[in-house]
């Protein structure tokens, strides 16, 4: 049986033992689970950028509603030093072969760098379309930095 904030999850409706739930309890739990998925972020992506010539950027970690791991990560396009775009597919398919359209409503980003002198300021995030996010990460002096940027999208 699952544990955590939503435990115990209902196994069957109606009377019949400690694992049974009334229809009202089941409806409430279902509504709570749906509410959680609506406010949970679509994805959290960690992108690492290097400033060595040529500039490189790569997705290091991906956790999203469509899956966990780099196989589910969006396409990364490097626009220049300290500037990249993440593009998700138009739809993602769950384990039951149900397709869900991707429509990003909001995004936030933070960056960290190992060089104290080039401390990053808060990255600028721009919604390019309903499924693409552009991120620009620069230091407080306006120079591009080698940093790991965490992008959270809803």
Which sequence spans correspond to the domains of the chain? 1-39, 43-153
Inter-residue contact 45 to 73 (CB < 8 Å): yes
pLDDT value, residue 132: 96
Task: Please give the full DSSP string across the chain, using - where no structure is assigned.
Answer: ---STTPSPPSEESSSSTTEE-HHHHHHHHHHHHHHHHHS-SEEEEEEEE-SSSPEEEEEEEEETTEESGGGPPEEEEEETTEEEEE--SEEE-TTS-EEE-----EEEEEE-S-GGG-B-PPEEEEEETTEEEEE-BBTTS-B---EEEEEE-
Instruction: Considering only residues 144 and 17, tell me which one the structure prediction assigns the higher pLDDT.
Output: 144
pLDDT value, residue 10: 47
| Structure tokens given for 63 | 């956790």
Q: Which phi and psi angles does 116 have, rounded to 5°?
A: -65, -30
pLDDT value, residue 152: 96
pLDDT value, residue 140: 76
pLDDT in tens, 102-152: 999 999 998 887 765 556 677 889 999 889 999 998 877 778 878 889 999
pLDDT in tens, 39-98: 889 999 999 988 877 888 999 999 998 889 999 999 999 998 889 999 999 998 888 888
Mean pLDDT on 32-37: 80
Which residues is 150 bridged to in the sheet? 46, 110
pLDDT value, residue 70: 95
């Amino acid at each position: 049986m699952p544990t955590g904030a939503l435990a115990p999850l209902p196994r069957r409706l109606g009377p019949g033992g400690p694992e049974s739930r009334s229809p009202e309890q089941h409806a409430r739990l279902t509504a709570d689970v749906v509410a959680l998925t609506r406010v949970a972020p679509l994805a959290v992506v960690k992108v690492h950028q290097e400033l060595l010539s040529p500039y490189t950027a790569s997705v290091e970690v991906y956790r999203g509603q469509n899956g966990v791991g780099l196989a589910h990560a969006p396409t990364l396009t490097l626009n220049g030093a300290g500037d990249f775009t993440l593009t998700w597919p138009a739809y993602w398919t769950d384990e039951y072969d149900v397709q869900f359209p991707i429509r990003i409503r909001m995004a936030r980003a933070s960056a960290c760098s190992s060089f104290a002198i080039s401390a990053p300021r808060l990255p600028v995030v721009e919604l390019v379309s309903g499924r693409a996010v552009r991120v620009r990460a620069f230091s407080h002096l306006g120079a591009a930095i080698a940093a790991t940027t965490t992008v959270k999208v809803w």
